[in-house]
């Protein structure tokens, strides 16, 4: 096993380049901060989650079931650990427009970098045993290839991407109703 880790900023940029029209549901804290760092924080289809640890994948599933547009979830390993059962629900519905990215940084980054104590947890294995396609990557180029393949798949794919912990300076708006309305409107308004 290697200790290589992908660059979360570069991976986030690549997924936006590959699917520029995707709705991106990002986990509270670091995933949202990185997304705001590499894109316009006011990008209408950035659906930042606040105060919602453990529900990002469930929100993404609901969104994917309500639209034909591509939906990408940016979840954290600590957040997903709180709600592993959601993977069975995702497999049950298996929307072809959903891709799930799990940033595996082995810490609770938003709350101060405490150790996750879950280095033995095989998120891709859990996803596969739940009935989903899954892949683990540790390099930025491998992430871009995996993401491209996942978005072309007829099934949900979970990409577990090992990254170093980061603490971005960027912060998107904390206006929760505005974020939800903006995301909803971007998916329902004819342009």
Model confidence over 118-146: pLDDT tens digits?
778 999 999 999 999 999 999 999 999 99
Helix (H) / strand (E) containing 108 = strand 107-108
User: Does the pLDDT of residue 1 top 60, yes or no?
Assistant: no
The whole-angstrom separation of Cα 8 and Cα 38 is 10
Residue 81 has pLDDT above 60, yes or no: yes
Q: For the whole model, what pTM was predicted?
A: 0.93
pLDDT of residue 175: 87
The predicted pLDDT at position 64 comes to 98
Report strand pairing: 114-115 vs 107-108: antiparallel
What is the residue extent of each domain of the chain?
Answer: 8-188
State in words which class domain 8-188 has.
alpha beta
Percent of the chain with pLDDT over 90: 75
Residue pair 181/123 in contact by the 8 Å Cβ criterion: no
């Amino acid at each position: 096993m290697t200790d290589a880790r992908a660059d979360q900023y570069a991976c986030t940029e690549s997924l936006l380049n590959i699917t520029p029209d995707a709705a991106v549901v990002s986990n509270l804290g670091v995933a949202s901060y990185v997304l705001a760092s590499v894109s316009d924080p006011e990008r209408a289809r950035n659906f930042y989650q606040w105060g919602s640890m453990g529900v990002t994948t469930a929100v993404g599933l609901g969104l994917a079931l309500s639209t034909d547009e591509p939906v990408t979830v940016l979840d954290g390993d600590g957040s997903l650990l709180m709600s592993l059962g959601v993977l069975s629900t995702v497999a049950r519905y298996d929307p072809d427009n959903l891709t799930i990215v799990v940033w595996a940084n082995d810490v609770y980054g938003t709350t101060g970098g405490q150790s996750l104590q879950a280095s033995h947890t095989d998120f891709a294995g859990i996803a596969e045993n739940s009935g989903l396609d899954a892949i683990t990557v540790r390099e930025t180029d491998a992430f871009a290839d995996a993401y491209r393949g996942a978005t072309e798949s007829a099934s949900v794919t979970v990409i577990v991407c090992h990254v170093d912990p980061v603490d971005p300076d960027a912060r998107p708006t904390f206006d929760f109703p505005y974020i939800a309305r903006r995301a909803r409107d971007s998916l329902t308004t004819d342009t």
